[in-house]
A and B are shown apart, each in its own frame.
Chain A
Amino acid sequence: MSDQSKSLSILKDLGTAIVQSIDNEEFPTLKFPGRGTGNLVYDEESKQFVLGNTQVIRDSSNLRHIKSFTQLVWVASYAKQLLQAGRTSSLRDLYYSSEAFGVEFSDQAESDRTVTDLECLTGIAREAFGVFPEERSSIYGQVTMRYTVAGYEGRDVDLTLSPDGLPIGPALVTADPVESNAELILAVESGGIFSRLIETRAWERFNAVLIHLGGQPPRATRQLIRRLHDDLDLPVYVFTDGDPWGMHIARVISTGSANAAHIQGLTTPDAEWIGVTADDITKYSLPSEPLNNADLKRLDELSRDVRYSDSMWQDYIRDFRQLQRKAEQQAFSRHGMDYVVDKYLPEKIH
């Protein structure tokens, strides 16, 4: 059975269960794993965090549940339409489509959450329904990919094709790497550093596939990192701002996000965070700012998060708390435009 028909049949079963329940004069209920960080457990087999046993129940007889229940069933029916028509849509597009069906979301965050609910409920990633986020990461490097999407099957694309990098969309994620000179993957948080690495031909020097994360990367990006890591056997280095948020970008790449813990194949367990660490701020005398309340609160949360339970990560957190300061990737500019390429990265990438 193809992925598509499997998805369709899962959705059909969902509908049938609800219809039967109503026919039996019973209020339908839906049950799926909860996504709170408290419900994350480490799975040895897949080497990633997955959702534990805590279940969320949506009971349509509950006045407080009925709205989200309706939204969830609508998202399912919308996903089915996309699947049957072979179309893709964005999370934003889905949010705006809801109105035409008389379904109300208070904001896009609510409709995004509902899409994730459907994933948890059906065990199918939204990409399989053709729902992607609007924002795109970019990739640049010496790899040739072969498309598998309809209309482009068999066509190759060289990832150095554009000096701006290529956007990571559904087509690239499903493409297969066919040729590569790369020896490592270097994922960076900011667009400025990404451009700098392309311009200074650092990709050549390090034989690196460069990936622009742009904050917490979309799932497609994490999926592509995982595929390139697996298929080409490339080590992954993550280079972010020196603050709790940057640190967590790296951690999500290696252990997964709570929001997508129900999805397999997004994590790269041995991805390595090279910095900026609190240590680096001192060591490279980087211009820095004091941690604000939000930063400190975030550090507290992370220190209790199971994904940070090992001692190396607890040390990173402790270092930030002691230093009480943070720095951006761009802070290296103080030592000259190419300092980060000439000095910092060679020391970090072995």
Chain B
Amino acid sequence: MNQDNSLHGEFSSISPAEFFYRNRQMAGFGNPSQAVYSTVRELVENSIDACEEARRKPDVRVSIDEERSGIVRVTVSDNGTGVPYGEVPNAFARVLYGDKFTARQRRGTFGLGVTMAALYGQITTDSPVIVVTQTSHTTGRCYQLLIDIENNQPVVLSDESHEREGPGTEVTIRLKGDLNRSRERVYDYLQLTTVASPHARVELTINGSSIMRMGWWHQMLPEPTTASKPHPHGADLELLRRLVADAGERSLHSFLVESFQRIGTRTAMRFLKFLAINPRQAVNTLGRENLSRLSSALRSFDGLGRPDGKCLSPIGKDAFLASIESVFAPSALTYGNRGPTEWSGNAFIVEGVAAIGTGARGADVPTLYRFANRVPLLYDSGEDALTKMLKRVNWVQYGVRSTTPVSIFLHLCSTRIPFKATGKQSIASLPEIEHEVLSLLRELGRSLKKTLKRGERSVRDAQKKREFDKAMKQVAQFSAELAECDAIPSTTELVHRLFEVDHHV
């Protein structure tokens, strides 16, 4: 027995906190420069989500200070709802704790990110995370928190009342980080954040000096999302069991109608008849085998129509165009979208903008800016499904040349983004998503072609006018020589009039 134990090592489980610390590169904390960027990113995403929750235009301030070489203090404050005081310790110092497990689009996904940043800070600098928060009708409190890594439990070092100028939250994390190497990424990230959240304003201060303040490109707050009932295609056995447990003694027919989107009375009848299960049977009496049959039938059920889009928050044509125009000042741009449709029951929409003359470097393939649930993705573009689709399109066919720099902005929003890793930097290749992205890119390509043609035409027209103008001046000069008059008659007005008239035709 003893020998066996030494052979197999000791079996034990580790806490989620410990697991994520050991695998921190997966969550985007692999090296000091990525750590600064990831910390900013997690805090900013939480802040904007909180402001939208409060139906306030987000006003997010980021300040980064290098305390001494290699040690950085990141503070992000917002004007959101504030965190209910009882929840603060768990929300910031317990891994996998949060309110984001519902079927609607949010920036954060598991409530993992901020605690990961806090955890990383704690490990590298032995400092607590400092949270100042104020909910409405209260005065505000300040917490210093550590994480008990082994047990995944918050440790509250201090908790005192703290005046704040209004509701909102301010989080400070000290961490080992490389400010110089992360500076540019942080800047790009915040700039692109205002592109994907045009109703937000972001400020960045580094070592006390103001680096940027931009945003509020579009005044409209996005419509609040509402959690949808599950889509039948997402009805795996686990979900089905949970739903059945909640449904009590309901009949199978009313269970289907009430628990899922896209299933009405008639569809439910047709569906159950096909499965040869009595619609009046109570759900909690379904056997294991029937439950499994039900699950696979639901997941492959065709002809359900488009999924409910209320759980999604696309940027929208006006806002997306407005933000790109403000940030990149392109000479022309065009918007398109696809969806809502679903992958494994998760609703998604892809929307995109093609812009000409954004200052991007010219190439045969457009420069791609990726966004997922309004979050810009800056790393791992090579492995990303959006990048792959971009490369699959023959852009030359749409008139894209290295002489015409084109940028494509793609936003995928979904109740669940299929990220390749917890670092949330690249989107996995799923046929449903790739199909829609490819169709959208081609649609953008077609309107791009039209725009480019129009551009070429106007360049050609201008050149024609220049040539014509030159020719008329020569005619005037030669004929003046023939006529032996000293003054060469002016043709400017004549040429101007001709091309003005041409323009209106």
Interface residues of A (CB under 8 A from B): 11-12, 14-16, 18-19, 22-23, 25-28, 60-61, 63, 66-67, 69-70, 73-74, 76-77, 80, 101-103
Contacts and interface: CB of A to CB of B under 8 A. Distances in A.
B475 interface: yes
B482 A69 contact: no
B480 interface: yes
Interface residues on B, range: 20 to 34
12 contacts: A15-B478, A15-B479, A18-B475, A19-B483, A22-B489, A23-B489, A27-B498, A70-B471, A70-B475, A80-B481, A101-B474, A102-B470
Interface string B456-479: 000000001000101110111011
B493 A25 contact: yes
A26 B497 CA distance: 11
Dominant secondary structure of chain A at its interface with chain B: helix
Contacts of B478: 15, 70, 73-74, 76-77
A277 B414 CA distance: 89
Given A22-B489, A28-B475, 11 more contacts: A11-B482, A15-B478, A15-B479, A15-B483, A18-B476, A25-B497, A60-B475, A70-B475, A73-B482, A102-B474, A103-B474
B468 A76 contact: no
A97 to B, nearest CB: 13
Nearest to A76: B482
Contacts of A27: 494, 498
Given A67-B471, A70-B474, A102-B474, A22 B494 contact: yes
A66 B485 contact: no
Contacts of B475: 18, 22, 28, 60, 66, 69-70, 73
B482 A80 contact: yes
A16 B485 CA distance: 8
A102 B471 CA distance: 9
B484 interface: yes
A15 B482 contact: yes
Contacts of A63: 464, 468
Most chain A beta-carbon neighbours within 10 Å: one of B472, B475, B480: B475
Contacts of B490: 22
Contact of A66 (B471, B482, B497): B471
B489 A19 contact: yes
B394 to A, nearest CB: 34
B489 A74 contact: no
B284 interface: no
B491 interface: yes
A19 B468 contact: no
Contacts of A76: 478, 482
